[in-house]
């Protein structure tokens, strides 16, 4: 079983972003730098994480759109099949009705 079968794309991306944020926070806290330098590093890392989150959101949106389109196609196909089956059932019912009416007219009401 591969990773995609056990975890959703959203949970993988969330774990990645959380890991990145924790790693960045630890790096900032454990690295001896001046205040302005630390703030700049925080800004850079926040920008990087924001870009990563935007990329992940775009990918999820594309996958969701693709999945939605496939779902619509599937439903359209099943709807066509169902409509055909209903029409065939109506035709069969009409033919049986005509057969019984014909038999009724030939033999009379007591024999049908």
Domain that holds residue 32: 7-80
At 14-32, the pLDDT tens digits run 787 778 778 877 776 777 7
CA dist list (Å): 36 to 43, 46, 76: 11, 15, 59
Residue 60 lies in a domain: yes
Q: How many helices (H) and strands (E) does the chain have?
A: 3, 0
Total domains, the chain: 1
Residue 33 lies in a domain: yes
Q: What is the largest CA-CA distance in the chain?
A: 107
Q: Which residues, other chains included, contact 100 with Cβ-Cβ below 8 Å and sequence gap of 6+?
A: 112
Residue 49 lies in a domain: yes
At 36-62, the pLDDT tens digits run 887 887 788 888 888 988 888 898 889
Q: Are 112 and 96 in contact (CB under 8 A)?
A: no
Residue 109 lies in a domain: no
Residue 97 lies in a domain: no
pTM score: 0.47
């Amino acid at each position: 079983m591969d990773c995609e079968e056990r975890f959703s794309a959203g949970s993988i991306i969330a774990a990645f972003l959380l890991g990145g944020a924790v790693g960045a926070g630890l790096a900032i806290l454990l690295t001896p730098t001046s205040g302005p330098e630390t703030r700049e590093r925080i800004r850079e890392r926040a920008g990087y994480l924001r870009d990563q989150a935007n990329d992940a959101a775009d990918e999820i949106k594309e996958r969701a759109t693709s999945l939605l389109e496939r779902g619509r196609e599937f439903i359209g196909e099943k709807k066509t099949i169902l409509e055909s089956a209903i029409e065939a059932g109506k035709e069969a019912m009409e033919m049986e009705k005509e057969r019984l009416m014909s038999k009724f007219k030939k033999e009379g009401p007591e024999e049908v």
